[in-house]
Amino acid sequence: MSSPGAASEARGSLALALAHGERLLRSRPELAEEQAGEILKAAPGHPEALLLLAAAKRARGAAAEAKPLLETLAKTHPQWPGAHLHLGLALSALGEGRAAARAFLRAGELKPDLVEAWRALGDQLTLDGDAAGADAAYARAIRASTSDPRLMKAAEALCADEVPVAERLLREHLKAHPTDVAAIRMLAEVAGRLGRYADSETLLERCLELAPGFAAARHNYALVLHRQDKAVEAMAEIDRLLAAEPNNPGYLNLKAVVLGRIGDFERALPIYEEVLRAQPEHPKIWMSYGHSLKTAGRQDDGVKAYRRTLELEPGCGEAYWSLANLKTFRFSPEDVEAMRRQLERGDISSEDRFHMHYALGKALEDDQAWEGSFEHYAEGARLRRAELPYDPDETTTKFTCAKALFTPEFFAERAGWGCQEPDPIFVVGLPRSGSTLVEQILSSHSEVEGTMELAEIIAIARELGGRKRRGDPVIYPEVLADLDAETIKALGERFLERTRIQRKSGRPFFIDKMPNNFAHIGLIQLILPQGKIVDARRHPMAACFSGFKQHFARGQGFSYSLTEIGRYYRDYVDLMDHFDRVLPGRVHRVIYERMVEDTEGETRRLLAYCGLPFEPDCLRFYENERAVRTASSEQVRRPIFREGLDHWKHYEPWLGPLKTALGPVLDSYPETPGP
């Protein structure tokens, strides 16, 4: 038997060997694996050496070999945080996202100050599309990484979703410690949660100026840029992250999302495929892949991707809605029964629940079960509306202010202002009113490029709304009265520059199909007076009900109540009537029903307004193979059909609130005071 001194010396040598192996783990995992093997020869079955061995295997890309070792360690040492952390890392590398998240959470619960566990959980949940869960995990990581009492309290407030408390504590802390990058990043997260993305962007820029290697902050920065549709800037940050970690699935997935946003599916789809080869068990990535396939016109492949999502996550309501949102897809009786079983569960999220109600509404609509279909649409809308802060009075007030500001005298005083380039064609109106059809017809012309619903006009309006006059905020659009000619021209030039990334064909004209831009016609007239404006209008009952039964990915908060969407349509018509009087002939109106009945005549009139010669390809718009990024993507790949004109009448018994809200607008359609 060895002496106590010899045993102590052996333990010390073993500890040194383990420490050396851990240092090698990140830079030379193959040497760390060799070190672990040598330790195990001297001390067979030593748990820390086994963990080092498994971690080294995972780090050098052999996660499948590491997994059984780590599962055994986590089972035999259930209270060991390190075993669960490294098991999570191996599972994540193998694409077993849900199991990885459980392992990371267990590690964090066992050791609340284990920053790596919370950060890994946040990364995993980001990859899985659980933004709220990821935010909470990152907040736990921040709390675990700081010993400053005020920062700890701020992080606790973030974890508890007490955002105002966190903001106050962080601002107090930063007054005393203005270069604390952890606090700056936390304040940026607060701003993001409040939807103040411009503030979040500024804070993260400062954070990275102080700490250029702060990868987590750079990832946040790329996300914030993406959320503001700053694709060029977001891509630059993602590429910097990938230069350091070229195989990071979260960075790759974000790059694919941004590429899809700018319509570059030739580059986005291979990235999704690369991520899915490495992470084949991630339902949310399969769903994002399906969205890109659908938009690129590969519907059958898109359906397969959505189906794969449901195999991995049967309660994923968005996957069912994505299938329904193809419009031409038909659910089987087995699909309907599967959705009903999922709705009986008590543990699915509100988001999954309302998505499934919308999907069931579509399934029953296809079966002509009108009453049941309406009940599901109404329940989906009720659940969605409960999550939104939309205020119809605020909308009416904004439109009233716009009418008061934008008078003939206002525009006469600013004649000749703005950027005089004629490139953009704005297609405006309510969603589901035929704007995608108008876009597809125009983009079939040899001189016009179709892009997507561009957010730049709304971004400009939002930024202008944040300006101040003598220290007090100025409400948009009143702030436009304060701008000089140079500023107005610069805003038009900015629009063209920021949207250039969407233009890939070199055609002289391009389409911005953001329907909500009708609220910003005064701004468009000021900054881009030579741009064309097309108002796509559809029968009030048809347009409003079609919008009501559509779940929109973002925006359109008015559409989840029959009363509110009817009032919104009425306000929209009133505002457009105002511009028809103030700027006669400026807006060209396309009445959807007339386009269906006389496609050639209406197309010729549309092209003439745009100053374009007639081209027969515009009548064969359904042969246009461009990517279409709206709910009508599959419908506009087919010839015009008139069967849908009166489809809303099947639901008429339940649309009384909509008729009441529309009031006289319903009776006067399609006559307008305009041209």
Predicted pLDDT at 1: 33
Amino acid at 587: V
Predicted pLDDT at 673: 44
Q: Is the pLDDT of residue 173 over 90?
A: no
Phi, psi (deg, nearest 5) at residue 568: -65, -45
Mean pLDDT, range 138-159, rounded to an integer: 75
Mean pLDDT, range 622-639, rounded to an integer: 55
Predicted pLDDT at 4: 38
Classified as helix, coil or strand, 178 is coil
- Residues of the chain with pLDDT > 70, as a percent, come to 92
Report the distance separating Cα 623 and Cα 529, nearest Å.
32
Token reading at 185 = 């990043």
Token reading at 261 = 């946003």
pLDDT band at 671 (very low <50, low <70, confident <90, very high): confident
Enumerate domains of the chain plus CATH numbers.
392-668 (3.40.50.300)
First to last CA, the chain: 104
Task: Determine whether 470 is exposed, middle or buried from the number of CB atoms within 10 Å of its CB (0-12, 13-18, 19+).
Answer: exposed
Q: Is the pLDDT of residue 639 over 90?
A: no
What's the DSSP call for residue 130? Answer: -
Average pLDDT, rounded, for the chain = 88
Range scoring the smallest mean pLDDT among 229-243, 423-437, 506-520, 633-647: 633-647
Q: 46 CB contacts (<8 Å, ≥6 apart)?
A: 14, 39, 40
Predicted pLDDT at 262: 86
Predicted pLDDT at 25: 74
Amino acid at 243: A
How many residues does the structure list for the chain? 675
**Among residues 546, 548, 567, 547, which one has the least CA distance to residue 392?**
567
Mean pLDDT, range 521-526, rounded to an integer: 98
Q: 147 CB contacts (<8 Å, ≥6 apart)?
A: none
Q: Can you give the C-alpha Rg of the chain in angstroms? A: 28
pLDDT band at 286 (very low <50, low <70, confident <90, very high): very high
pLDDT band at 214 (very low <50, low <70, confident <90, very high): confident
| Segment 75-119, tens digit of pLDDT | 999 999 988 998 999 998 887 888 999 999 999 999 988 888 888
Report the distance separating Cα 543 and Cα 524, nearest Å.
24
Q: Where are the alpha helices (DSSP H) in 367-484?
A: 370-385, 392-405, 408-413, 435-443, 456-464
| Segment 332-365, tens digit of pLDDT | 999 999 999 999 998 899 999 999 999 999 999 9
Q: Is the pLDDT of residue 632 over 60?
A: no
Chain centroid to Cα 537, Å, comes to 27
Amino acid at 216: A
Predicted pLDDT at 34: 84
Range scoring the smallest mean pLDDT among 3-7, 273-277, 635-639: 3-7
Report the distance separating Cα 417 and Cα 104, nearest Å.
58
Residue 193: which H helix or E strand, with range?
Answer: helix 181-193
Q: Is the pLDDT of residue 569 over 80?
A: yes
- Residues of the chain with pLDDT > 90, as a percent, come to 58
Report the distance separating Cα 557 and Cα 660, nearest Å.
20
* Residue whose pair of structure tokens reads 């000089």 in the numeric block: 484
